[in-house]
Amino acid sequence: MMNNNDSLPQLSILIPVYNSEKTIGRLVEELIDSLGSLFKLEIVLVNDHSIDRSEEICISLFEKYKENIKFYSLSKNVGEHSAVMAGLNHVTGDYTVIMDDDFQNPISAVVKLVNAALGDAYDVVYSFYDNKKHSLFRNWGSWFNDKMANIMLKKPRDLYLSSFKVLNKFLVNEIVKYKSPFPYIDGLILQITDRIGKVKVEHTERLEGRSGYTARKLISLWLNMFTNFSILPLRVSIILGLIFASSGFVLGAYSVFEKYLNPAMPVGFASIFVAISIFGGIQLIMLGMVGEYIGRIFISLNKKPQYTVRKKCEYYGEDK
């Protein structure tokens, strides 16, 4: 149960839940046992349309720990970042820790993150690891995402954008002002503040199941970063267009000059076909990039929701 000592920091722990029926119950129990005496603890569970018994277990946890738990079940799967946005719109703590549902983030590291945020006046403190226990594919995706964030978002090169982090109330209030679809939490953070800390923690093996990040979801995440928080791809397309147009002009001038010097030289159909294929492909890529931007503008104007809550469980006290 929640500690009534008003001097304790108010801490919210936000956990996006997806197909974690085997871990979420134990995780919540251990969080309450370990942190309930250190903080005024609030645990916000957001079920991202799991297809197992996760919703049922989360509801039973709410019934057992009503004063500590809020639960929200989404009507369709929207991905981690939209699910986190759903939770951020309902947290009330002075600090909010975002963590996974699979025990890869040790509970002891929560205190390290919060202490760093308290002691150094950071708006956000990220975790980082000496040795990550993700799959090879997930590690490669994280590496690529990190390098692209350096370019697109001007992220500090020594900062790892971990999903396990703590945010203060100021930052949470600013993030939830973003109402457009396709949220990217780390992109919003980097746009809002440069008071960013980092703490080394242990990364443990996933206890059950496998990561929900598929190739499709990683590509969707990268597109959110590319098109929602930077116009650099459009600028790159302009530069590439100028380079290839100039190359085509030079190649054409060279061909005319060579034909003038050697009138008997046959015209090369293969080279024409290759040139058309290359320039046609480049044009399609650039049109696709512009189309991606326009499509996202269209979807935003139509007010596509970030998420829709189908079911919620909240406790307001016996007298309310």
In this predicted model, what pLDDT tens digit does every residue of 135-174 receive, in sequence order?
Answer: 565 666 666 777 766 776 778 888 888 889 999 999 999 9
pTM: 0.74
Average pLDDT over residues 184-206: 85
First vs last Cα of the chain: how many Å apart? 19
User: How confident is the model over 30-47, as pLDDT tens digits?
Assistant: 999 999 889 999 999 999
Residue 147 confidence (pLDDT): 72
28 three-class SS = helix
**pLDDT tens sequence across 217-253:** 666 666 666 666 666 666 676 677 667 667 666 766 7
AA letter at 140: W
Residue 263 has pLDDT above 50, yes or no: yes
Alpha helices by DSSP H, listed for 54-98, are 54-64, 80-88
Q: Could you report the per-residue pLDDT of 60-119, keeping only the tens digit for each?
A: 999 999 999 999 999 999 989 999 999 999 999 999 999 998 888 888 889 899 988 887
Q: How many CB atoms lie within 10 A of CB 263?
A: 6
- The answer, yes or no, to whether residue 320 has pLDDT greater than 60, is no
Radius of gyration, alpha carbons of the chain: 25
> What is the rounded distance in angstroms from the CA atom of residue 36 to the CA atom of residue 33?
6
By C-alpha distance, which of 165, 147, 144 is closest to 156?
Answer: 147
Confidence class for position 129, pLDDT limits 50, 70, 90: confident
Q: Report which of residues 91 and 276 the model is more confident about.
A: 91
User: In the structure, what pLDDT confidence band is assigned to residue 1 with cuts at 50, 70 and 90?
Assistant: very low
Mean residue pLDDT across the chain: 81
**Whether pLDDT at 213 is above 70:** no
> In the predicted model, is pLDDT for residue 300 greater than 90?
no
**SS3 per residue for 202-257:** CCCCCCCCCCCCCHHHHHHHHHHHHHHCCCHHHHHHHHHHHHHHHHHHHHHHHHHH
pLDDT reported for residue 5: 57
Dihedral pair phi/psi, residue 31, rounded to 5°: -65, -45
The percent of residues above 90 in pLDDT, for the chain, comes to 40
Distance CA 93, CA 102 (A): 23
Helix axes 232-261, 215-228, angle to 10 degrees: 90
